[in-house]
Amino acid sequence: MLERKWKNIISLIFMYVVAVGIPTCCGQNISRGSFPKGFVFGTASSAYQYEGAVNEDGRGQTIWDKFAHSFGKVIDFSNADVANDQYHLYNGDIQLMKDMGMDAYRFSIAWSRIYPNGTGEINQAGIDHYNKLINALLANGIEPYVTLYHWDLPQSLEDGYRGWLSPQSIKDFATYAETCFKEFGDRVKYWITFNEPHTFAVQGYDVGLQAPGRCSILLGTFCRAGNSATEPYIVGHNVLLSHATVVDIYKRKYQPKQRGSIGITLDSFWYEPATNTSADIQAAGRAIDFNLGWFLEPLIRGDYPRSMRTRVGTRLPKFSQAQSAQVKGAFDFIGINHYTTWYANENNTNLIGVLLNDTLADSGAFTLPIALGRPVHDRANSIWLYIVPEGIRSLMNYIRQKYNNPLVIITENGMDDGNSPFGSIKNALKDEKRIKYHNDYLTNLLAAIKEDGCNVRGYFVWSLLDNWEWGAGFSSRFGLYYVDYKDNLKRYAKDSVKWFKNFLAS
C-alpha cells in the first residue's frame, strides 16, 4: 500500500513536470520563496539594443548609430536600426514579462529621444513615448527601473566637444537627467545613472572596440584618434563627476517628494589567482581594483584605489576636496552586472605594457578565462563568458567585506547561445544550459544572502529578448525569448521562460 502510494505521488510529479513544460534536465531546488521578502526579480534591456525606430519621432543620432554603420565594427555587419522594434512592440513585450511573473523591467531612456542634439530643445515625442511605456508597465504591475545612460551618447556632443572627454558633458548630462526626473519621477522610483562606465571607458577609449572607437593601440589602422594611456581615465573621471552631480540634484530637489532611489550600475568579473603564489593573489586584487574598484571605491571612500593611484600616477585625474566629498556616498544602491570569472596572473614581463601602454597594462595583471592546473569551466557562446556560478558569491562577499556591505542589486546576469543560420527554432528553444546557468547562479547568490549576510535585494536577467549585442551584432542570443529576425521579429518562449514562470510562481 505504501509502495503504491509513493508510485502514485511520483507519477503525479512527473505529470506535473510534463504539463508545465519544465525541462527535466535541471532540478529546481530554489524558488522565489527561497529569497527574502521583497526581493525583486526582473529582466533588463537597453534602448539602442531594443528600440529600433532610430529615425522616428525626432530621435537624434547617437555614437552607436555612427559606429555600427562604420565598416568592420560589428562582426556580422549588422546594426540596430530596427533591433527588436520595442519602440512599437512594447505592449506585447510587457505581457510577456507579466505572464512570466516578473516584478520589474530595467530599461534605458535614449538621451537623443529627449534631446536630439544632447542639449537645447526638448523633443516632446520622446517624452510622450516613455510616458506611455512607463504607464503601461505600471498598469501591468511591473516596476520600472530606468537607466539614464546605456552607452548611446548623442552624436552631436561627440562632434561638438568629444563627449565624455570634456567636462562640458557633466553639465549636459545633468540637464538631461533632471528633465527625466521632472517628467517621469512621479512614477519611476528606481533610477540608475550609468550602465557599466568601466566597459565603455575601456572598450570605447582604450581598445576602440566600442563607440566612439578611440584608441592609440592601433592608431591609424583600427582607430582614427585617441590616447589609450589617458583617455579612459579622463572619461571615467567625468562620468563619476556626472553621476555625483545628478545624484545631488535628485536628492536635493526630487527625492523628498518623489521618494525614489538612485544608484549606478557597475560591471565586474570575479578574478581568481591563477596560482596560489602571493604575486598572483595580489594580481587578482589589482584586476578587481581596475575593474570594479575604479568606480566603486570613489563612491565609498572618495578616491580611487591605492593600486590605481600608484600604478597610473599623474595620468589618473585627481578629485578636489569638494569633488571627493560629493562623490563619496553618492548612491542609494549599487547595481552590479556580473556574468563570469577569470584567472589573474602577475604581469611581470612588462610585455603587455610595451605593446599596449593602456589600462590593461597598468593593472599589472594578465587575465584569462583559463589557467594551467585550474578548473576549465563550461562556456557560453561568447568567447569571454565562462560559466562559474560560485563567482557571484565570491564577488558579493568581496563587496560586503571591503566596501561595508552596501545595498546591491544584480542588474544583469545571463548567458548567450549562438545564432546559427542552419539551426531550427524548435531546437533553439531548448535552452537547458541557460536554465542551469540561472539556477546555479541564483543558488550561489542565495547562499551569499542567507548564509553570508550580503545585502542583495534584486536580480535582473539579461535579457528578456534576444537582441542586437553591440560588436557581436545578431550573432549572439541572450534572450529568454527567441526573436525570429527573419519573420517580423516574432517572439517565442524558450524553455527558460517556463522555468522562470515556475520559479516565480512557487
Look-up: residue for cell 557560453? Answer: 380
- Give me the residues paired with residue 271 across strands: 342
pLDDT per position as a tens digit, 139-195? 999 999 999 999 999 999 999 999 999 999 999 999 999 999 999 999 999 999 999
Choice among 51, 272, 346, 412 that is catalytic: 412
Average pLDDT of the chain is 93
Bigger pLDDT: 506 vs 65: 65
- Give me the residues paired with residue 264 across strands: 334
Q: What is the pLDDT of residue 348?
A: 75
Copy the grid coordinates of residue 62.
547617437
- 412 catalytically annotated: yes
Copy the grid coordinates of residue 253.
530637489
- Give the containing element (helix H, strand E) for 483: strand 481-484
- Omega cis (within 30) before 463: yes
- Give me the residues paired with residue 266 across strands: 336
Assess contact for 195 and 108: CB atoms under 8 A.
yes
- Omega cis (within 30) before 406: no
pTM here? 0.94
Strand residues in 381-448 grouped as ranges (E): 408-413, 417-418
Check residue 252 and report its DSSP letter. I
φ, ψ dihedrals at 274, nearest 5°: -70, -30
Report the candidate in 269, 274, 324 with the shortest Cα–Cα distance to residue 301: 324
Assess contact for 165 and 157: CB atoms under 8 A.
no
Assess contact for 492 and 425: CB atoms under 8 A.
yes
Does residue 225 register a pLDDT over 70?
Answer: yes
- Give the containing element (helix H, strand E) for 264: strand 261-267
Look-up: residue for cell 542567507? Answer: 450
- Give me the residues paired with residue 296 across strands: none
* Residue type at position 2: L
Angle at 201 between CA 314 and CA 78, to 5 degrees: 155
Q: What is the pLDDT of residue 356?
A: 54
Read off the pLDDT of each residue in 24-28 and give the average, rounded to a whole number. Answer: 48
Q: Give the span between the Cα atoms of 410 and 387, in whole angstroms.
A: 17
What Å distances lie between residue 95 and 114, 137, 367, 423, 469, CA to CA? 26, 9, 42, 27, 23
- Give me the residues paired with residue 267 across strands: 337
Q: What percent of the chain has pLDDT over 70?
A: 93
What Å distances lie between residue 456 and 12, 132, 276, 460, CA to CA? 36, 30, 30, 12
Report the candidate in 143, 181, 177, 179 with the shortest Cα–Cα distance to residue 44: 143
Assess contact for 376 and 370: CB atoms under 8 A.
yes
Look-up: residue for cell 552631480? Answer: 245
pLDDT per position as a tens digit, 453-497? 999 999 999 999 999 999 999 999 999 999 999 999 999 999 999
Does residue 2 register a pLDDT over 60?
Answer: no
Look-up: residue for cell 597610473? Answer: 312
Which of helix, strand or coil describes residue 326?
helix
Rounded to the nearest angstrom, the gap between the alpha carbon of residue 237 and the centroid of all alpha carbons in its chain is 20
pLDDT per position as a tens digit, 435-455? 999 999 999 999 999 999 999
Q: What is the pLDDT of residue 412?
A: 98
Q: How much of the chain is in helix, strand and coil states, percent to nearest 5?
A: 45, 15, 40
Check residue 377 and report its DSSP letter. P
pLDDT per position as a tens digit, 364-412? 999 999 999 999 999 999 999 999 999 999 999 999 999 999 999 999 9
Q: Give the span between the Cα atoms of 331 and 434, in whole angstroms.
A: 32
Cα dihedral 309, 310, 311, 312 sign: positive
pLDDT per position as a tens digit, 296-323? 999 999 999 999 999 999 999 999 999 9
Choice among 51, 158, 183, 196 that is catalytic: 196
Structure confidence at residue 1 as a pLDDT band (50, 70, 90): very low
pLDDT per position as a tens digit, 118-128? 999 999 999 99
